[in-house]
Homo-oligomer: A and B are copies of this chain.
Amino acid sequence: MKLETKLDKMTGSDKLYPKARPLLLKRNSRILGTGSGVPDEVITNQDIIDEFGLLATDRAVQFSLGISERRRGPHTEKVSYYLTRAAKESLSRAGILPEKIDRIIYSRLFGEHLIPANSLEVIKRLGLKTGIPVMDISAACSGFMHALELGLACINTGDDYVLILGGDRSAISSQAAVSIDTRTIFLNGDGFAAALLGPSDENNFKASYFYTDSSIGDFATIPFGSALLNSSENLEDNMFNLDMPNGQNIHKSVLDSCRIISNRLFDASGLSIDDIDFFITSDQTAHVWRDQVKLLGLTEDQSVSCFHKYGNTVAAMAPLNLHEAIITDKLKRGMQVLMMAHGAGASGGGFIFTY
């Protein structure tokens, strides 16, 4: 069964999407272990209402977004602390010693700093003696998928073990210098995730597909960057602020993205939705998770969403859902997985793989 293809386009977009192409892997990979690095500190909707003095109720927030709570670590704790926590869990679940890692690719939002690459601190915290190559990458909420794709490519060119990290601080706090946007203040949480890729004799990754859509790049933006040089006003007010002028557009674009990525992955792999056992995606709200599951004709127990407890954790959403599915034993070895993530429609991509 193929999904409806007439909407092979984003709502509001004038772009064509790249064709699916075969994934030419000579050396195959496998996800050996996953890990979570969410902070222990739980922030409820009521906590946010109180902290910012908002006119809102927990009940209304739960109803409109489907979120009950999110995590927010103290600012004195570094990004690398949480990344290392996620990394250690993925290594321990894989049964692989940290010394085996050949490379770390971290998909960040802000990161702890711009220079040097953030995983240098992870190397220190893991106690590695060898200075393996690391880099930061960034592609909004779909960043972890891009990092996974690069990990597959690096194993294909000779690496054995590649540690993929993702996520960042994105919970809004009154301590940070941000203006308050009541449409987005409840959405985000701090979250960090890891996946360890290793070599495999089997062709687990059947297809990969990635696109971007510049015509809807303004659906969600964070100005933090050289844009700030234009105006010192921006510095304090909006630098960390996610600007998402129209939530309904994002909802639609995520569903469009889900449809396009799925169809392209089916084209590239020769598989169909009937071959898929489990579905992992980015869940920007509880509603957009449910609507993706419905769109694919799957049941909710064939997928998992942590949005209600973690919120939008940017690049960590999809891998935290993957980790949750694995530790709750819903996703088992041998299952065929459709995994993807959506960057507000402006970027997206994913895989079909055998877990």
Binding site for B on A (CB under 8 A): 13-18, 21-27, 75-76, 78-79, 102-103, 109-121, 123-124, 128-140, 143, 146, 150, 152-154, 156-159, 168-169, 173, 175-177, 210-215, 217, 220-230, 232, 235-236, 239-240, 242, 343-344, 346-347, 349
Identical copies in the complex = 2
Q: In the assembled complex, how far is the CB of residue A331 from the closest CB belonging to chain B, in whole angstroms?
A: 25
A228-B168 Cα distance, complex, nearest whole Å = 14
Query: Contact at A15–B131, with CB atoms within 8 Å?
Result: yes
| Residue from the list B138, B158, B213, B224 in contact with A135, Cβ < 8 A | B138
Query: Contact at B121–A214, with CB atoms within 8 Å?
Result: yes
Q: In the assembled complex, how far is the CB of residue A178 from the closest CB belonging to chain B, in whole angstroms?
A: 10
Residue among A76, A111, A138 facing the most chain B CB atoms (10 A cut-off): A138
Query: Contact at B221–A347, with CB atoms within 8 Å?
Result: no
Residue among A25, A109, A132 facing the most chain B CB atoms (10 A cut-off): A132
- A117-B138, A156-B157 are contacts. A133–B217 as well, Cβ < 8 Å? no
Query: Contact at A232–B16, with CB atoms within 8 Å?
Result: no
Q: In the assembled complex, how far is the CB of residue A35 from the closest CB belonging to chain B, in whole angstroms?
A: 20
Q: In the assembled complex, how far is the CB of residue A270 from the closest CB belonging to chain B, in whole angstroms?
A: 16
- A139-B136, A158-B23, A229-B173 are contacts. A347–B153 as well, Cβ < 8 Å? no
- A236-B235, A347-B117 are contacts. A226–B153 as well, Cβ < 8 Å? no
| Residue from the list B157, B175, B176, B214 in contact with A120, Cβ < 8 A | B214
Chain B hits for A177, CB < 8 A: 232, 235
A15-B123 Cα distance, complex, nearest whole Å = 11
Query: Contact at B222–A114, with CB atoms within 8 Å?
Result: yes
Q: Which residue of B lies closest to A232 (CB)?
A: B177
Query: Contact at B135–A227, with CB atoms within 8 Å?
Result: no
Q: In the assembled complex, how far is the CB of residue A10 from the closest CB belonging to chain B, in whole angstroms?
A: 8
Q: Which residue of B lies closest to A209 (CB)?
A: B133
Chain B hits for A130, CB < 8 A: 15-18
A132-B139 Cα distance, complex, nearest whole Å = 13
A215-B27 Cα distance, complex, nearest whole Å = 32
Query: Contact at B22–A158, with CB atoms within 8 Å?
Result: yes
Query: Contact at B123–A212, with CB atoms within 8 Å?
Result: yes
Query: Contact at B131–A24, with CB atoms within 8 Å?
Result: no
